[in-house]
Amino acid sequence: MANRETTQREADSLLDVERTFKERVAYAGRFLWRDRSGVIGLILFLVVVGAAVFAVHISPYDPLEQNLRENKMPPFWSAEGSWDHPFGTDNLGRDSFSRIVYGARVSLTVGFFGVLIAGTLGMVIGAVSGYAGGRIDAATMSLINLILSLPYLLFVVFIASILGRSLLNVVLIFGITDSPIFARVTRGEVLRMRESGYVESAISAGARWPRIIFDHILPNLIGPLITLATFEMSAMIFYEAGLGFLGLSVPPTIPSWGNMLAAGRKYLQQYPWIAAFPGLAIMFTSLGMNLLGDWLRDVLDPRLRRARK
């Protein structure tokens, strides 16, 4: 019990403006180490990022190289499998492991830039709405709440089927359709801050606009938004693979987890590993980012921790 209270105090002190950046990072690190699922999440996330960045060095084969003589080879533990192709090969004899490694690039690109666009758009909309208040705020928010209540997957599939297959289209679709959720969170935070004493006292002390925004509002927005961004990135990676499965994401020439799933679907009964490995890759990435998000929420927003117990 005492231990939990100490942790609580440390978490509180993370928000303390008096601490230097270095101290805060040190606290966050110690906090992370105590939360084992957070460590697992971070490791999984770093593995995926590492795969995407060093894909050229990690993958033993060219992900596009076809070798029809070695097609549909089983993974290494099977009797006919070998360490030459640890995850086996697909119907065209392409090395599954190399394709998974390269697939991380597509997933992370979609997740990162999708969240960047959604976050920027949402922050602007939410901040304006929250600051303007009154009718503008009421109208924006009821629109956003209603948009969020629509069948999301259906519209993403609908829009993707019209725009056609390209990486840019996928990023734009997710970036735009996902912005309402960022707007809602930003607006909630801005409203709370407007009511809080410190912004008021900063204004009465004569602080000008830039100072209030950059010193008081932005630092407090970053925590909740980074947490949200982690969860949304995980969701986008998930949805991108789903679009790929329907043949609506990046062109089939680009190795992506969704495209691999779509290709493996036909051979499921005899050669299940072709679809199983990309599915596992999506699952571990998603799991890692959800664990990381849970941890970030606890670290960056101690209020939630108190409420959750």
Binding site for another protein (CB under 8 A): 142-143, 146-147, 149-155, 157-159, 161-163, 238, 241-242, 245-246, 248, 261, 265, 268-269, 272, 275-276, 279-280, 282-283, 286-287, 290-291, 307-309
Is residue 172 a contact partner of residue 156, using CB atoms and an 8 Å limit? no
Closer to another protein by CB, 11 or 173: give it: 173
Q: Which two tokens stand for residue 16?
A: 């303390």
Residues 6+ apart with CB under 8 A from 301: 223, 224, 227
CA–CA distance, 202 with 205 (Å, rounded to integer) = 5
Closer to another protein by CB, 22 or 309: give it: 309
Closer to another protein by CB, 7 or 13: give it: 7
In whole angstroms, the minimum distance from the beta carbon of 247 to another protein comes to 9
In whole angstroms, the minimum distance from the beta carbon of 67 to another protein comes to 25
CA–CA distance, 265 with 200 (Å, rounded to integer) = 59
In whole angstroms, the minimum distance from the beta carbon of 24 to another protein comes to 28
Give percent helix, percent strand, percent coil of the chain, each to the nearest 5. 75, 0, 25
In whole angstroms, the minimum distance from the beta carbon of 234 to another protein comes to 8
Closer to another protein by CB, 182 or 239: give it: 239
Is residue 266 a contact partner of residue 275, using CB atoms and an 8 Å limit? no
Inter-axis angle of helices 96-132 and 36-53, to 10 degrees? 110
Closer to another protein by CB, 216 or 294: give it: 294
How many CB atoms are closer than 10 A to CB 191?
Answer: 16
In whole angstroms, the minimum distance from the beta carbon of 12 to another protein comes to 20
How many CB atoms are closer than 10 A to CB 266?
Answer: 12
In whole angstroms, the minimum distance from the beta carbon of 145 to another protein comes to 9
Closer to another protein by CB, 207 or 276: give it: 276
